[in-house]
Amino acid sequence: QYAVAFLPGSNFYGALGEINVWNPKTLKKELSASQFWVTDGGGKDIDSVEVGWMVSPSISLGECFYAGQADGYNTGCYNVRCSGFVQTNRKIALGAFLTPISIYGGEQHLMGIKVYRDGQGNWWVNVLGQNLGYWPPNLFNGGLRGPASLIEWGGEVINSNPQGVHTSTQMGSGHFPSESYSRAAYFKNLQYIVDGGGLEDAKDITGQATRPECYDIQVQKPSREWGSYFYYGGPGLSANCK
């Protein structure tokens, strides 16, 4: 299930923004992720690169930074399990645990991420101003051998319907976007990259939630300090989410 802000278009050469970091409660065999998707727009043979943070007991013991790639979601993978990903940074590892974590009602901790396409068609991952590595163009079916046509930012939860009810796995901070700053999770300073490397504010994003009674999103009016931004997330199982 998703709560995302999306920006359709054409000729996107990358995306960037800042995510605040949380440690949502996550059930076994499920995951809770906050990430970017840079894709060719969908369809049977979708090409997608995904970067963000994730909590998944089946993949790691706690919260980690990750990057993933999928061609039609037939050969999708994460981190160093992606055999074609070329790691270039020896100091920051994919799958590394993230610290510190944002505190509900207290100090917030952010992670700046950029995904961009270079002149050779490689899709790079940059975190906190440092390149980590790239996916070469031969890993894709065709769509991301050129520029992307859809960017999404937001949260994802795998809901296995434990005991026949909706999961209690949380998204973001585990609180709804209506709680706002320091209590709800957020993305801010969302931008996209155009041909030639220029940056444009993602001011035309649209919010969409699979089940807003479980996990929701609220796109905010752009501000000078935060640029384009939104709050998102939720607790999952509740009186209204079954």
β-sheet with 32-39: strand ranges across: 77-78, 63-71, 47-55, 32-39, 148-157, 2-12, 206-209
Per the annotation, the verdict on 18 as an active-site residue is no
Q: Choose, from 18, 30, 50, 152, the residue flagged as catalytic.
A: 50
- 36 — alpha (psi -120 to 50), left (phi > 0) or beta? beta
Q: Are strands 230-233 and 32-39 parallel, antiparallel or unpaired?
A: unpaired
Task: Tell me which amino acid residue 105 is.
Answer: G
Task: Tell me which amino acid residue 22 is.
Answer: W
Q: Choose, from 30, 63, 152, 156, the residue flagged as catalytic.
A: 156
Give the CA distances from residue 134 to residues 124, 138, 146, 237, 240, in Å, rounded to whole numbers and listed in that order.
4, 12, 15, 37, 42
Per the annotation, the verdict on 50 as an active-site residue is yes
The answer to whether the CB of 201 falls within 8 A of the CB of 221 is no
Catalytic residues: 50, 156
